[in-house]
Amino acid sequence: MLYSIGKDSSVMLHLARKAFYPGTLPFPLLHVDTGWKFREMYAFRDRTANAYGCELLVHKNPEGVAMGHQSVRSR
């Protein structure tokens, strides 16, 4: 399931957890890392996935990073 760390993704994660309760999610969370989030949001993402026992897949666009298309914060 795509997980952007935003409010809509957080609600979808909550609903998915309710749907599969008491088990864990049968699918991973996928976060497409643009490099434009605040550090605190990345920490929240990691804490949330860990607390809920979710597999978290993080993808960065390596070509975009190589071309310098990332935020100043993530450098």
Asked whether residue 9 carries a pLDDT value surpassing 90, the answer given is yes
Residue 61: alpha-carbon gap to chain centroid: 15
* pLDDT for position 75: 45
Q: Is the CB of residue 43 less than 8 Å from the CB of residue 15?
A: no
**For the residues of 52-74, what is the DSSP string, one character each?**
TT--EEEE--HHHHHTT-S-STT
* pLDDT for position 62: 79
- pLDDT averaged over the chain? 89
Q: Is the CB of residue 10 less than 8 Å from the CB of residue 44?
A: no
Q: Is the CB of residue 57 less than 8 Å from the CB of residue 31?
A: yes
